[in-house]
Amino acid sequence: MSDAPIPDDRGAAPELAGRHLVLGLSGGIACYKAADFARELVKSGATVQVVMTEAALQFVTPVTMQALSGRPVHTSQWDARPAANMAHIDLSREADAIVVAPASADFIAQLAQGRAGELLSLLCLARPRGEGRAVPLLLAPAMNREMWSHPATQRNVAQAVADGALLLGPGHGAQACGETGDGRMLEAAELRDAVVAFFQPKVLAGRRVLVTAGPTFEALDPVRGITNRSSGKMGFAIARAAAEAGAAVTLVAGPVHLPTPAGVRRIDVGSALQMHDAVLPLAPAHDVFVATAAVADWRPIAMAEEKIKKDGSGRVPAFEMTENPDILAAVARLPQAQRPYCVGFAAESHDVLRHAREKRIRKAVPLIVANHGPATFGRDDNTLVLVDARGELELPRADKLSLARALVAQIAQRL
């Protein structure tokens, strides 16, 4: 049987294909989430070696973790299976990263103090940290809110981070003790996405990226309005991909029901005017502006104060319309010192490339991303064509996050 990663239903390789991860479990009720997390990592193509502390054994069994990871679980520094009885050396040398989830307050304290009383803390201490072969350490804190906010824990966390660890979370919410606050371990899918993001090339590190996404809603009366079929999925994928690439991302979103990508600052707006008023003051502080939103071209001059009702006459009400401001063109007209690198989107219903070429010149932007609107609105996949002064580059059909990552890489090259 081949060990090659199994493509998903789109033919793409899993996001963590070829990665070998050590998943460490310290003591805490959040160990139940670690079981789901291990499954998510395996589904994403990673090989997972589980290491459990003695305290973790009180919450979930090695049998469970072995079944989910497909590998025998290590629990003791005296395990005779590895060569020369050196599990702490062998396990850490094989890993692309060590992820501790949950990372309890006690375990973080051990790391901060350089203690190595059992296998998991020992292999974290022994992991390579040199420039030639560094094994990253990712910690997903999980503890009661009072424990998390305690000065000692905060000192220990700061020391662990100063020593090279990366924090994944914690989250905020209901805790097993019945209290609510910070300290909750992130959910399995959130942790998986954080690990995937960690391995993405940081081609936009130090950059600031502004993205618009979704439709706008131009109100006719208090309950009706003009909008379009844009789901916002492409724009949200671009915001996520830019954040994965190391950028500080601001997302200005029209009325959509999508979760905010991790690490992204989100501003919700409704109408084209609101989006314009949100974007223009922000644009000069950003290096890149990606105008993915499907902004309405027109709006009613005035909104009716009450719902417009049928009167039985058969007459259709007439609405006087006016043109909305062109957000992309307005940003592209900023003085050069304030102007970000502008990327526009052209969602067309016909003659896609011709309209995209004309739009790029008309709006005076360096890059337009063209696609067939009716074929992509609401879907999870797409086909994009990048149009610039040199010609066209097609990004073949793929899921929108893969396309977003490819687009981010192209933008980084042009910067």
Residues annotated as catalytic are 177
For 116, the token pair is: 């190595």
Neighbouring C-beta atoms of residue 274, cutoff 10 Å: 16
Residue 124 contacts residue 100 (beta carbons within 8 Å): yes
- For residue 174, report the phi and psi dihedrals to the nearest 5 degrees: -70, 140
- Which helix (H) or strand (E) segment holds residue 56: the answer is none
Residue corresponding to tokens 């957000």: 327
- For residue 404, report the phi and psi dihedrals to the nearest 5 degrees: -60, -40
Q: How far is CA 5 from the centre of its chain?
A: 23
* Secondary structure (H, E, C), 66-84: HHHHCCCCECCCCCCCCHH
3-state secondary structure of 236: helix
For 139, the token pair is: 């910690």
CA 285/CA 105 separation, integer angstroms: 38
- What does 101-151 look like in DSSP terms, one character per residue? EEE-HHHHHHHHHT--SSHHHHHHHHS-BSSSSB--EEEEE---HHHHHSH
Q: Is 46 exposed, middle or buried (0-12, 13-18, 19+ CB in 10 A)?
A: buried
CA 390/CA 104 separation, integer angstroms: 54
Neighbouring C-beta atoms of residue 81, cutoff 10 Å: 10
